[in-house]
Structure 1
Amino acid sequence: MAHAPRRLLAAALTAALAVALTGCGGGSTDAAGKKGDVELTATPMAQVTATPPADAKVIAVTVGKDSVSPSGTQVQVKRNQPIVFQIDAVEAGELHVHSSPAKAIDFPAGKSQVQISIDKPGLIEAEIENLGKLVVQLEVR
């Protein structure tokens, strides 16, 4: 009978792990499926009139048909520091920043720019949603 509590504990841990792993799966969602996301749109570079703030962390992102660069790079930023994504994309898409609240950033084909900040410390992933490709991990301190 001593094995029953161990089996119960193992089953509970397995169930908890399964729930945790399905929390941020790939797959498409519509606007209703992104409830709670902050919706942003990147500005085409031709319309950008100001340079990024001096203390901004500028991240250049190149989006191909099925690739992104950088790809999973870890970038350190401070809480509330401006983060400027300068995006050069072959087609329109969405940069999704898994912060709290999450940020869904639509970008056009061509060159564009968007500025965000994150106020909570942690490791935050940013990915190109339609490709399911990780761009950067923002280490917010």
Structure 2
Amino acid sequence: MTSEHQADQQHLEAAMAYAVSGDRVAAGAELARIYNKGTNHMYRVWVALAETAVHPIREAGRPGAVYGLSVLNADSGRRTSIDEAPPGVRLATQFLTAQANQDTDTTRALFRAALAGQVEVMADAMPMLLDAAVASARAQLAARDTRGKSA
């Protein structure tokens, strides 16, 4: 691992620690240190956050499982199409699904399409990826604490 990758990893770990503790401003500042290095760094942040979010799901699944996306309308409670979601929500959920399936071609295509499109879509998707990673990390910490208390 290069020193640049190590620095990115340290900033990402710090961002996650801040975010898990509820300090989104400090988390954002750490992520910006990586983002400001360019699009390859941005893509690696997205992958790392998505992997943090989906790893426990994939680990609990059976080998070779394929993951999909089920979207419910918050008002009606009925299933709906992801196409009805706002663009940032759609991008983040599709990226998470592709990462769950370890589909690098799709994660790259989604990221490139977002780069070529509106900056606002990426700005809306990024906090969702962070939130998904934080929710997963908190659940993993809670499960670990529960296992530790019962041992």
TM-score, length basis structure 1: 0.29
Q: Which has the larger radius of gyration?
A: 1
TM-score (norm 2): 0.27
Whichever structure has more strand as a proportion of its residues is 1
- Going by fraction, where is helix more abundant, 1 or 2? 2
